Structure 1
Amino acid sequence: MKLFILIYAVLFSVIEGNSQELKSPNGDLVMQFSLELNGVPTYKLAYKNKAVIKPSHLGLELKNDEKSLLNSFEISNTETVTFDETWQPVWGETKDIRNHYNELAVELTQIETERKIVIRFRLFNDGLGFRYEFPSQENLVYFVIKEERTQFAMAGDHKAFWIPGDYDSQEYDFTESKLSEIRSLFDTALTDNASQEQYSKTGVQTSLMMKTADGLYINLHEAALVNYSCMNLNLDDENMIFESWLTPDAKGDKGYMQAPCTSPWRTVMVSDDARDILALT
């Protein structure tokens, strides 16, 4: 009986977890990727055993597409790589820059449509970067992004340094408040501008800096923004979950894509010293 329970527990953890774990080179950051029920891509991130990002969903909603790229995935392949190089910039305050990370590339196949995407994670000693990749394939060639559904689920009601989410202007003073206070302070944070367009009373722009109650600094941003809409964030202030909110064109579309192509990197920088975040940016 005990043997049966042990075997069942092992099998259950594999079936339910179906997770891939990635650690930073120094081991301080740990990211886990898994597929939730109905094949929803999900990730979470911890720093020195403290939750940074709670389980958060990944995916994209496509225009005029009943299935989109949100669920019904299975993991068809995974690859891990360790990369370490030092390079010298032509200009800047630092002579040598070390580019050192561990990488996990997860290839997902949507069961019903046989469409493939790759979610590539790179975990550095000071943060996480990930992006969506769309390889060349017959079942996904030209497509329009209706909305990117990348989530960043916060582990608490953190202090945030934010400016209102606005498609047209960044000319605002930063407001310091708890995440739960953004909605009530949003109108106060606005200043008159000839060109401005907000999208939500809980919308904020990146980069977004936060400080947790126990002194951890977290920054949400993006990198390598090429042929893609700029990412803002929208906060579900009941659950403390940020979701990406792309800047639309005049028709409301968020991106015109042709595979093979990639999204920008979504970045989560983490440190217990604010000066480290400044050095990274």
Structure 2
Amino acid sequence: MKSFVVLSLLATALAAPANTFQERQLDLSSLTSALKSTSSGAAGSSGSTGSTGTATTSGSSGLSALASLFPSSSATTSSSGSTSSSGSDDGLSGIISSFTSGSSTENGVTSHTGACKELTFIFARGTTEIGNMGTVVGPEVASKLQSLTGNQVTVQGVNYAADWAGIMSMGSDGGTEMVTYVKEALSQCPNTKVVLGGYSQGSMVVHYAANQLSAGQVTAAVLFGDPFKMLSVGKLASSKVKEFCASGDPVCENGMNVMAHLSYGSDATAAAEFLVQAAGVSS
């Protein structure tokens, strides 16, 4: 019951319309105290596992209690893109990955080999997902894009912590990296069209990055379970942005169906088709 109370509190704060990132920051800052008081001692005797894989048995924060409701992994990704792990995976990420195609780690921009592609797809994964692409939807969208374009896509995942503390950064944790990748991709291949994608916390990363970039640097974006879905994506026209928000998703719709937030792999084809069309690339 306490977990559902925490979920409801966080979902309400994240999904409520806000005009600015500053308003979101105030909402989440106020929420922190409520989360802590609601979940004091909520971990129970069996403990809960955070992004570092360390189990705690008492005094866990509300975000830690909420973490147990979403796919989590003990793996963490460093800024260099390497993945390390400690503790044990809860198994859900592994189950999800068995139904997806594509790699959970892609570094097509940072390890550029000299071959320029028509599209560059830069994706930010959700909280606690593995690699730099995650498993819920990122790899599947990348795979569909390659299929639609005849492998004319450079794929780059955002190397950022994607931990629960990062939610409070409003997308800046990861956003600055995404900005760097966009500029690097355009420097390497001036004629490539950069498209962005983000899932859950990764959507916040896209919003932050898009607000730091100039018009024309990004061609289109797809967002899944976006807590900022009521906000524009930088200078992109609304026709160049597609939001996927599943019915009942607690993060983007104030719903109570946690599994809805894990369902976006089924939208991968529609997302890839939208990006190809929005970028004007032949399929």
**TM-score calculated relative to the size of structure 1:** 0.25
Higher relative contact order (CA 8 A, sep 6+): 2
Higher helix share: 2
**TM-score calculated relative to the size of structure 2:** 0.25
- Computing the radius of gyration from Cα coordinates, the structure with the larger value is 1
Higher strand share: 1
